[in-house]
Structure 1
Amino acid sequence: MDITLRQLTCLVAVADHGSISAAAQALDVAQPTVTHQIQLLEDFIGHRLIDRSARGITVRAEGQIVVDRARAILRDVGSLADDLEDIRKVHGDVKLGIIPTASASHFPFVYRRMLTLYPDVHLVVSEGRSLDLVEQVRQGDLDLAVVTLPIHYTDIDIVPLWREELVVIDSAQSGFAEEPLLVKTLGGYPFIGLDSGTGLQRTVLSLFHEHGIQPNIIFQATSIATVIGFVASGLGISIVPNQAVRVFADVGQVVVRHLNPTAFRQLALIHRPLDTMSTALRVISQTFAAQARRFPQG
């Protein structure tokens, strides 16, 4: 026999109303039903939970522990029903910003899942640099954004998503060997970077700084496509997310080498505090994060 919600409901009702008869009346059931459900619960737990007397019911210490847990369980079950109802009611526009290097890999799968779950939501997506997206969320111009960590603001909520390995890319004609490339050797190569407002470039520069490297940056692009184009033409190397460049490596435009030690960037979903969001937007943000976390890390 298992504990049932009916047993917990009867126990809480008795604790609230102080007698079996009052609890039965509140639940609109017969008194023997309440008595039987509590007896089943006591038998399962192996402790007396209430004392019965002519003056009414007294909840024992053991019973109070169960009552408190029962209240939390019943509250969670009730909120589950509310959440399911919220899903059915979700509609309207949600403005989402995303960095371009994330939008081409995992994001399309999350986007498709969101459309399936919430067909009445109009998800408006725009691309931008991490720094710009953070400010747009803070100012209320965007509801959500997918950006690169770290973020040093305390007025927005940050939900970690997936982690991506960073790799070195060079021209397919470069003769790059397959073995991992030591980070400390990268200072001698001409480097193709992204605009300094991008989270990826800040992560890469932080990596260089950590290893005491002064990078030889010969060009800063505004898009990952431009970076790949310059690298493929033999103008220099770059460091990019593995997922973002994999398709170009598969067709022979660039060659990929892992870093030693391995480096990563962490993506996150940001939004204003949950207590300032509508129910629909809260459901969308929580579901988005849950779907995104399903992806492999690295």
Structure 2
Amino acid sequence: MPFDLSDKLVIGLSSRALFDLESENALYEKQGVTAYSDYQRAHEDQVLSPGTAFPLVKALLGLNELVSGKQFVEVVLMSRNTADTGMRVFNSIEHYQLPITRAAFSGGEPIVSYLQPFKVDLFLSKSQDDVQSAVNAGLAAATLYAPPTANAARQEQIRIAFDGDAVLFSPESEFIYKEKGLDAFYAHEQAHRFDSMREGPFAKLLILLAKLQKQFPAERCPVRIAIVTARASPAHARVVHTLRAWGVTVDEAFFLGGVTKHEVLAAFGAHIFFDDQDVHLASAAPLVPSAKVPYRQA
């Protein structure tokens, strides 16, 4: 019987998202594929250090151990490597005892074509080009920043934080702010406070996570979700009405109105934070794993 991915949260991630391969990638960029391949074969048994997405992936895979006979999460390695040069990655996966068994090695070709066949709900990578292609194809994808220098993640729960506009919601309102200023933004949001915003690139992921949460008793739910947005009252109302229309209740919401996000994210203990703006991500990334969501291009 074929293995069904359609009823699972499927995370696709590059080898550089899961493990620290920055020096190896620098070798590839400076000396080419032959030098990179030779190095990877020569160091095939050398275990790689965890990368930015490692804590999140390990925690999500742990959900499968909570209910006997129930698999909630599937992780698929999506790499531009060949299977030959990818051996070091799989050896490291085995070392850390991660239950990752499926992979797509594209041999240098763009990986985006293989995301749909694997039913990927979220793609994480260090490659801006691959992430942009995935977002353009209508998938939730983000480019990871370097691993944080501190470890703020809460160990008792998986904690995921989202920005609002251009991440969970469409960038329409954000464009009004950028083009016409703050007063025009507030006037627009007040006039449309009961109108649901259109879905952004991560809306379907949020809805899927909310459904996953309902598999567990509320008082013992292993997944906690927060919205951390620069919006403030009265622009908060449209966020609440939109989430109601989607049938989603987030656990925590922070309407910061220009207050910096990084301290709130550290206090929340996020395993990952998704935002569309470098100004927020640059200060958050040293404290919590962070990833940039690019705008969809026509």
Q: TM-score band, normalised by the shorter chain?
A: under 0.3
- Larger-Rg structure: 1
Q: Which has the higher helix share?
A: 1
**Larger strand share, 1 or 2:** 1
TM-score, normalized by length of structure 2? Answer: 0.25
TM-score (norm 1): 0.25
